[in-house]
Structure 1
Protein backbone atom coordinates (compact mmCIF):
# COMPACT_ATOMS: atom_id res chain seq x y z
CA UNK A 1 0.00 0.00 0.00
CA UNK A 2 1.32 3.45 -0.77
CA UNK A 3 1.68 6.17 1.87
CA UNK A 4 -1.23 8.25 0.59
CA UNK A 5 -3.67 5.35 0.88
CA UNK A 6 -2.54 4.68 4.43
CA UNK A 7 -2.97 8.37 5.32
CA UNK A 8 -6.49 8.35 3.88
CA UNK A 9 -7.39 5.26 5.90
CA UNK A 10 -5.98 6.81 9.07
CA UNK A 11 -7.93 10.01 8.47
CA UNK A 12 -11.12 8.05 7.78
CA UNK A 13 -10.67 6.12 11.03
CA UNK A 14 -10.09 9.35 12.97
CA UNK A 15 -13.31 10.82 11.54
CA UNK A 16 -15.18 7.62 12.40
CA UNK A 17 -13.95 7.77 16.01
CA UNK A 18 -14.74 11.48 16.35
CA UNK A 19 -18.26 10.76 15.03
CA UNK A 20 -18.56 7.90 17.54
CA UNK A 21 -17.78 10.34 20.35
CA UNK A 22 -20.42 12.78 19.03
CA UNK A 23 -22.98 9.97 18.84
CA UNK A 24 -22.11 8.32 22.15
CA UNK A 25 -21.03 5.06 20.49
CA UNK A 26 -19.13 3.75 23.51
CA UNK A 27 -18.82 0.21 22.12
CA UNK A 28 -16.91 1.36 19.04
CA UNK A 29 -14.72 3.74 21.05
CA UNK A 30 -13.98 1.08 23.68
CA UNK A 31 -12.66 -1.33 21.06
CA UNK A 32 -10.28 1.24 19.57
CA UNK A 33 -9.20 2.86 22.84
CA UNK A 34 -8.50 -0.58 24.32
CA UNK A 35 -6.41 -1.36 21.22
CA UNK A 36 -4.27 1.72 21.81
CA UNK A 37 -5.86 4.60 19.93
CA UNK A 38 -4.99 7.67 22.02
CA UNK A 39 -7.83 9.16 24.06
CA UNK A 40 -6.31 12.55 23.18
CA UNK A 41 -7.32 12.21 19.49
CA UNK A 42 -8.63 15.60 18.27
CA UNK A 43 -10.48 17.03 15.30
CA UNK A 44 -9.01 19.71 13.04
CA UNK A 45 -10.55 22.29 15.42
CA UNK A 46 -8.84 20.73 18.41
CA UNK A 47 -12.00 19.11 19.78
CA UNK A 48 -11.00 15.95 21.64
CA UNK A 49 -13.05 12.80 21.81
CA UNK A 50 -13.89 13.88 25.35
CA UNK A 51 -15.01 17.36 24.25
CA UNK A 52 -17.29 15.91 21.58
CA UNK A 53 -18.84 13.35 23.91
CA UNK A 54 -19.35 15.97 26.63
CA UNK A 55 -20.81 18.59 24.28
CA UNK A 56 -23.28 16.06 22.92
CA UNK A 57 -24.38 14.85 26.36
CA UNK A 58 -23.01 11.30 26.47
CA UNK A 59 -22.07 10.77 30.14
CA UNK A 60 -21.21 7.07 29.72
CA UNK A 61 -18.96 7.84 26.75
CA UNK A 62 -17.29 10.63 28.73
CA UNK A 63 -16.66 8.16 31.55
CA UNK A 64 -15.17 5.65 29.08
CA UNK A 65 -12.81 8.19 27.49
CA UNK A 66 -11.66 9.38 30.92
CA UNK A 67 -10.98 5.75 31.89
CA UNK A 68 -8.68 5.49 28.87
CA UNK A 69 -6.73 8.61 29.80
CA UNK A 70 -8.80 11.45 28.36
CA UNK A 71 -7.83 14.84 29.82
CA UNK A 72 -10.81 16.44 31.58
CA UNK A 73 -9.20 19.88 31.21
CA UNK A 74 -7.95 19.75 27.61
CA UNK A 75 -9.21 22.84 25.80
CA UNK A 76 -9.96 22.98 22.08
CA UNK A 77 -8.44 25.56 19.71
CA UNK A 78 -10.98 28.15 20.93
CA UNK A 79 -10.00 27.69 24.58
CA UNK A 80 -13.18 25.80 25.50
CA UNK A 81 -13.04 22.83 27.87
CA UNK A 82 -15.28 19.75 27.93
CA UNK A 83 -16.77 20.97 31.22
CA UNK A 84 -17.67 24.36 29.77
CA UNK A 85 -19.25 22.62 26.77
CA UNK A 86 -21.37 20.42 29.01
CA UNK A 87 -22.41 23.45 31.08
CA UNK A 88 -23.33 25.41 27.94
CA UNK A 89 -25.54 22.56 26.77
CA UNK A 90 -27.01 21.96 30.24
CA UNK A 91 -25.90 18.32 30.62
CA UNK A 92 -25.87 17.97 34.40
CA UNK A 93 -24.96 14.27 34.28
CA UNK A 94 -21.89 15.02 32.15
CA UNK A 95 -20.92 17.89 34.46
CA UNK A 96 -21.03 15.47 37.41
CA UNK A 97 -18.78 12.94 35.61
CA UNK A 98 -16.26 15.61 34.60
CA UNK A 99 -16.09 17.32 38.00
CA UNK A 100 -15.75 13.89 39.59
CA UNK A 101 -12.72 13.37 37.34
CA UNK A 102 -11.15 16.63 38.49
CA UNK A 103 -12.24 19.00 35.71
CA UNK A 104 -11.37 22.58 36.68
CA UNK A 105 -14.48 24.82 36.62
CA UNK A 106 -12.24 27.88 36.19
CA UNK A 107 -10.25 26.59 33.19
CA UNK A 108 -10.89 27.75 29.64
CA UNK A 109 -12.48 30.77 28.08
CA UNK A 110 -15.21 31.12 29.00
CA UNK A 111 -14.76 28.88 31.99
CA UNK A 112 -17.47 26.46 33.04
CA UNK A 113 -18.25 28.68 36.00
CA UNK A 114 -18.62 31.74 33.71
CA UNK A 115 -20.77 29.75 31.27
CA UNK A 116 -23.06 28.63 34.10
CA UNK A 117 -23.56 32.26 35.12
CA UNK A 118 -24.00 33.51 31.53
CA UNK A 119 -26.68 30.95 30.76
CA UNK A 120 -28.33 31.04 34.20
CA UNK A 121 -27.72 27.34 34.83
CA UNK A 122 -28.38 27.61 38.57
CA UNK A 123 -28.50 23.84 39.07
CA UNK A 124 -25.07 23.48 37.48
CA UNK A 125 -23.62 26.49 39.32
CA UNK A 126 -24.32 24.61 42.54
CA UNK A 127 -22.31 21.62 41.23
CA UNK A 128 -19.34 23.87 40.49
CA UNK A 129 -19.28 25.53 43.93
Structure 2
Protein backbone atom coordinates (compact mmCIF):
# COMPACT_ATOMS: atom_id res chain seq x y z
CA UNK A 1 0.00 0.00 0.00
CA UNK A 2 1.33 3.43 -0.91
CA UNK A 3 1.55 6.14 1.64
CA UNK A 4 1.53 9.89 1.26
CA UNK A 5 5.21 9.81 2.20
CA UNK A 6 6.37 7.79 -0.82
CA UNK A 7 8.31 9.72 -3.42
CA UNK A 8 6.46 10.74 -6.55
CA UNK A 9 8.65 8.56 -8.77
CA UNK A 10 7.37 5.46 -6.94
CA UNK A 11 3.74 6.54 -7.13
CA UNK A 12 3.95 7.27 -10.85
CA UNK A 13 6.24 4.44 -11.87
CA UNK A 14 4.89 2.71 -14.95
CA UNK A 15 2.58 5.62 -15.83
CA UNK A 16 3.03 6.98 -19.34
CA UNK A 17 3.00 10.76 -18.87
CA UNK A 18 2.29 11.27 -22.57
CA UNK A 19 -0.95 9.32 -22.11
CA UNK A 20 -1.77 11.40 -19.05
CA UNK A 21 -1.24 14.58 -21.09
CA UNK A 22 -3.48 13.32 -23.89
CA UNK A 23 -6.15 12.31 -21.37
CA UNK A 24 -5.95 15.72 -19.68
CA UNK A 25 -6.37 17.38 -23.09
CA UNK A 26 -9.44 15.22 -23.75
CA UNK A 27 -10.93 16.45 -20.47
CA UNK A 28 -9.73 20.03 -20.89
CA UNK A 29 -7.94 19.81 -17.55
CA UNK A 30 -5.68 22.84 -17.81
CA UNK A 31 -4.20 22.36 -14.32
CA UNK A 32 -2.91 18.90 -15.18
CA UNK A 33 -1.77 20.04 -18.62
CA UNK A 34 0.15 22.95 -17.10
CA UNK A 35 1.77 20.68 -14.49
CA UNK A 36 2.87 18.17 -17.12
CA UNK A 37 4.22 20.89 -19.40
CA UNK A 38 6.17 22.30 -16.44
CA UNK A 39 7.72 18.84 -16.14
CA UNK A 40 8.82 19.09 -19.78
CA UNK A 41 6.46 16.42 -21.13
CA UNK A 42 6.43 16.59 -24.94
CA UNK A 43 3.67 19.03 -25.90
CA UNK A 44 3.29 17.15 -29.21
CA UNK A 45 3.12 13.65 -27.70
CA UNK A 46 1.06 11.24 -29.78
CA UNK A 47 -1.26 8.37 -29.04
CA UNK A 48 -1.59 5.22 -31.16
CA UNK A 49 -3.70 7.08 -33.77
CA UNK A 50 -1.27 9.95 -33.98
CA UNK A 51 -3.51 12.36 -32.10
CA UNK A 52 -1.65 15.11 -30.30
CA UNK A 53 -2.94 16.81 -27.15
CA UNK A 54 -3.81 19.85 -29.30
CA UNK A 55 -5.85 17.80 -31.78
CA UNK A 56 -7.67 16.12 -28.87
CA UNK A 57 -8.33 19.37 -26.96
CA UNK A 58 -9.66 21.12 -30.06
CA UNK A 59 -11.86 18.21 -31.12
CA UNK A 60 -13.40 18.17 -27.65
CA UNK A 61 -14.05 21.94 -27.65
CA UNK A 62 -11.58 22.84 -24.89
CA UNK A 63 -10.52 26.35 -25.87
CA UNK A 64 -8.43 27.07 -22.76
CA UNK A 65 -6.58 23.78 -23.06
CA UNK A 66 -5.91 24.44 -26.75
CA UNK A 67 -4.60 27.92 -25.96
CA UNK A 68 -2.36 26.58 -23.20
CA UNK A 69 -0.93 23.92 -25.51
CA UNK A 70 -0.34 26.46 -28.28
CA UNK A 71 1.31 28.84 -25.81
CA UNK A 72 3.63 25.95 -24.87
CA UNK A 73 4.65 25.50 -28.51
CA UNK A 74 2.28 22.79 -29.76
CA UNK A 75 2.50 22.25 -33.51
CA UNK A 76 -0.68 23.86 -34.85
CA UNK A 77 -0.35 21.86 -38.08
CA UNK A 78 0.39 18.43 -36.58
CA UNK A 79 -1.43 15.67 -38.44
CA UNK A 80 -2.71 12.37 -37.06
CA UNK A 81 -2.05 9.08 -38.86
CA UNK A 82 -4.87 9.88 -41.33
CA UNK A 83 -3.50 13.35 -42.00
CA UNK A 84 -6.18 15.20 -40.02
CA UNK A 85 -5.28 18.39 -38.18
CA UNK A 86 -6.80 20.23 -35.24
CA UNK A 87 -8.35 22.72 -37.70
CA UNK A 88 -9.98 19.90 -39.64
CA UNK A 89 -11.47 18.52 -36.43
CA UNK A 90 -12.77 21.95 -35.47
CA UNK A 91 -14.29 22.42 -38.94
CA UNK A 92 -15.97 19.00 -38.64
CA UNK A 93 -17.36 19.81 -35.19
CA UNK A 94 -18.13 23.51 -35.78
CA UNK A 95 -16.13 25.24 -33.03
CA UNK A 96 -15.74 28.78 -34.36
CA UNK A 97 -13.76 30.24 -31.43
CA UNK A 98 -11.16 27.48 -31.54
CA UNK A 99 -11.03 27.80 -35.33
CA UNK A 100 -10.18 31.49 -34.94
CA UNK A 101 -7.50 30.65 -32.38
CA UNK A 102 -5.88 28.04 -34.61
CA UNK A 103 -5.89 30.38 -37.60
CA UNK A 104 -4.40 33.20 -35.50
CA UNK A 105 -1.65 30.79 -34.47
CA UNK A 106 -0.76 29.92 -38.04
CA UNK A 107 -2.86 26.90 -38.96
CA UNK A 108 -2.36 25.98 -42.62
CA UNK A 109 -5.81 26.45 -44.14
CA UNK A 110 -5.09 24.22 -47.11
CA UNK A 111 -3.47 21.15 -45.58
CA UNK A 112 -5.02 18.01 -47.00
CA UNK A 113 -5.50 14.71 -45.18
CA UNK A 114 -5.01 11.24 -46.66
CA UNK A 115 -8.03 11.58 -48.99
CA UNK A 116 -7.00 15.17 -49.79
CA UNK A 117 -9.87 16.66 -47.80
CA UNK A 118 -9.40 20.07 -46.19
CA UNK A 119 -10.87 21.97 -43.25
CA UNK A 120 -12.93 23.96 -45.77
CA UNK A 121 -14.38 20.74 -47.17
CA UNK A 122 -15.33 19.57 -43.68
CA UNK A 123 -17.04 22.88 -42.93
CA UNK A 124 -18.95 22.75 -46.24
CA UNK A 125 -19.92 19.11 -45.88
CA UNK A 126 -21.18 19.38 -42.30
CA UNK A 127 -22.90 22.76 -42.60
CA UNK A 128 -20.47 24.61 -40.35
CA UNK A 129 -21.13 27.77 -42.30
CA UNK A 130 -19.65 30.23 -39.80
CA UNK A 131 -16.38 28.35 -40.10
CA UNK A 132 -16.82 28.12 -43.86
CA UNK A 133 -17.01 31.93 -44.01
CA UNK A 134 -14.04 32.35 -41.68
CA UNK A 135 -11.86 29.93 -43.64
CA UNK A 136 -12.71 31.66 -46.91
CA UNK A 137 -12.11 35.14 -45.42
CA UNK A 138 -8.70 33.99 -44.22
CA UNK A 139 -7.73 32.62 -47.63
CA UNK A 140 -8.68 28.94 -47.76
CA UNK A 141 -8.49 27.62 -51.33
CA UNK A 142 -12.01 26.64 -52.44
CA UNK A 143 -10.71 25.11 -55.68
CA UNK A 144 -8.89 22.19 -54.04
CA UNK A 145 -10.40 18.76 -54.64
CA UNK A 146 -10.30 15.50 -52.74
CA UNK A 147 -9.25 12.12 -54.16
CA UNK A 148 -12.69 11.76 -55.80
CA UNK A 149 -12.29 15.11 -57.54
CA UNK A 150 -14.88 16.81 -55.30
CA UNK A 151 -14.51 20.43 -54.19
CA UNK A 152 -15.98 22.10 -51.12
CA UNK A 153 -18.89 23.27 -53.31
CA UNK A 154 -19.51 19.72 -54.51
CA UNK A 155 -19.52 18.43 -50.95
CA UNK A 156 -21.89 21.17 -49.79
CA UNK A 157 -24.24 20.26 -52.65
CA UNK A 158 -24.02 16.54 -51.85
CA UNK A 159 -25.12 17.26 -48.30
CA UNK A 160 -27.82 19.78 -49.20
CA UNK A 161 -26.00 22.68 -47.54
CA UNK A 162 -27.73 25.42 -49.53
CA UNK A 163 -26.27 28.25 -47.45
CA UNK A 164 -22.79 26.79 -47.88
CA UNK A 165 -23.30 26.62 -51.64
CA UNK A 166 -24.29 30.31 -51.67
CA UNK A 167 -21.24 31.25 -49.58
CA UNK A 168 -18.91 29.34 -51.88
CA UNK A 169 -20.52 30.74 -55.05
CA UNK A 170 -19.52 34.24 -53.95
CA UNK A 171 -15.87 33.24 -54.24
Structure 1: runs of 5+ lacking an equivalent: none
Check whether the contact 1:73–1:81 (CA below 8 A) recurs between aligned residues. yes
Query: Structure 2: where are the runs of 5+ without partners?
Result: 1-9, 137-171
Give the Å deviation of 1:51: 0.3
Q: Using structure 2 for the length normalisation, give the TM-score.
A: 0.68
- Whether the 8 Å CA contact 2:28–2:62 is kept in 1: the answer is yes
Equivalences for residues 15-94 of structure 1 within 5 A:
15-94=19-98
Q: Matched residue pairs, number? A: 122
More displaced 10-residue stretch of structure 1: 50-59 or 99-108 = 99-108
Which of the two has higher C-alpha Rg?
2
Change (3 A) 1:10 1:108: farther
C-alpha distance in 1 between matches for 2:77 and 2:31: 24
Is residue 50–residue 82 contact of structure 1 (8 Å, CA) maintained in 2?
A: yes
**Alignment partner, residue 122 of structure 1:** 129
- RMSD (Å) for aligned C-alpha atoms: 1.5
Higher helix share goes to which structure? 1
Question: Hey, which bits of structure 1, 4+ residues long, moved more than 3 A?
Answer: none
CA contact (8 A) 1:81 1:111 kept: no
